[in-house]
Homo-oligomer: A and B are copies of this chain.
Amino acid sequence: MKTRDRILQCSLEMFSQYGHVKVSTVEIANALEISPGNLYYHFNGKDQLLTELFYEYEAAINKLMSFYEDDVQAFEDYWAYLNVYVGLIQQYSFFYRDMKVIFDENKLLKRRFMRLVNNHHSFFLKMLTSLNASSEIKMSEAQQSSMADTICLIATNSLDTQLAEEDYDLQAITQRIVLRIIMLVEPYFSSESKEKYQHEVEQNPVEATSLFS
């Protein structure tokens, strides 16, 4: 892996684990066993690191969104796609946690971040609308809009990663979030979908253990 990419990856891991406020560029350089000067050769400080990580995240979400039409054809595809989508959000969830501090000084980046949050909402609404159109679920328009809000909050929430142990398991957290979303939508399923959903849950037995016990 190129040094530049290694720096980005290590920064993301350290920002996620300790909070970006607590991590200095010198500590990132130390963790990578490179000199601070080498890091500065690639990135002009922490702000640039944050900006580049944000662009990386934004590009990944946009790329994923562009696959939506191909990837999601049948009922089952929603949950697989949802899993990838939520996993990507959770990977960069420190942005949601720390956005007040990160974006208040960079209005341009803040606007792009807000647009991304709007895109999440549009995606979840789109998902609910098409599930409704194909009679998989039965939900009023007001319910769809409110549910899309709620799903957006759950998907971007970082309480899961924050309460988790230091070396948290991103995949397990993502699965728990997706299961939580499915359980929210479940009462609106048609009886036919309920069977398929049951099948889906049996195939992917996610432990529905409580975060808080």
A residues bordering B, Cβ < 8 Å?
A: 18-19, 21-22, 96-97, 99-101, 104, 114, 117-118, 120-121, 142-143, 145-150, 152-154, 156-157, 159-160, 162-163, 179-180, 183-184, 187-188, 208, 210-213
**How near does chain B come to A93, taking the closest CB pair, in angstroms?**
11
Given contacts A19-B100, A21-B21, A22-B104, contact A212 B118 (CB under 8 A): yes
Cβ-neighbour of A157 out of B104, B117, B121, B153 (below 8 A): B153
Contacting pair B187 A117 (CB below 8 A) = no
**How near does chain B come to A206, taking the closest CB pair, in angstroms?**
11
Cβ-neighbour of A159 out of B101, B156, B179 (below 8 A): B156
Contacting pair A162 B22 (CB below 8 A) = no
Cβ-neighbour of A19 out of B101, B148, B208 (below 8 A): B101
Contacting pair B101 A21 (CB below 8 A) = yes
Look across to chain B and name the residue whose beta carbon is closest to the beta carbon of A212. Answer: B121
11 A-B pairs within 8 Å (CB atoms) are namely: A21-B21, A22-B100, A22-B104, A99-B162, A100-B162, A118-B212, A120-B212, A121-B210, A146-B183, A146-B210, A157-B157
The interface residues of chain A, by DSSP majority, are classed as helix
Cβ-neighbour of A212 out of B99, B104, B152, B208 (below 8 A): B152
Look across to chain B and name the residue whose beta carbon is closest to the beta carbon of A147. Answer: B183
**How near does chain B come to A150, taking the closest CB pair, in angstroms?**
6
